[in-house]
Amino acid sequence: MSEKRYGVTGMTCGHCAASVTKAVTGLPGVDGAEVDLPGGAVLVRGEELDDAAIRAAVAEAGYTVSEPAAV
């Protein structure tokens, strides 16, 4: 299983974090996601993580995602 951490801007509350979690965990190959609201990031876990799909899902939820960062 792999893990990738993405910076996410625009999240300000628990609802924001839930929206990002729901958007990312609905993607094929994603087994789970944990949002770090104070840190402005999401940690995504799964077997085959598609960076473009993750960025698109976060953007569709209304937030901006940066490139994957070290876990």
56 pLDDT above the threshold of 60:
yes
pLDDT of amino acid 66:
80
Domain ranges of the chain: 2-69
pLDDT per position as a tens digit, 24-49: 999 999 999 999 999 999 999 999 89
pTM value? Answer: 0.88
2-69: CATH architecture = 2-Layer Sandwich (3.30)
Give the model's confidence band at 70: pLDDT under 50 very low, under 70 low, under 90 confident, else very high.
low
Could you tell me which residues are beta bridge partners of residue 41? Answer: 7, 36
Q: Mind giving me the DSSP string for 22-42?
A: HHHHTSTTEEEEEEETTTTEE
Cα–Cα distance measured from residue 47 to residue 67, given in angstroms and rounded to the nearest whole number: 19
pLDDT tens sequence across 9-28:
999 999 999 999 999 999 99
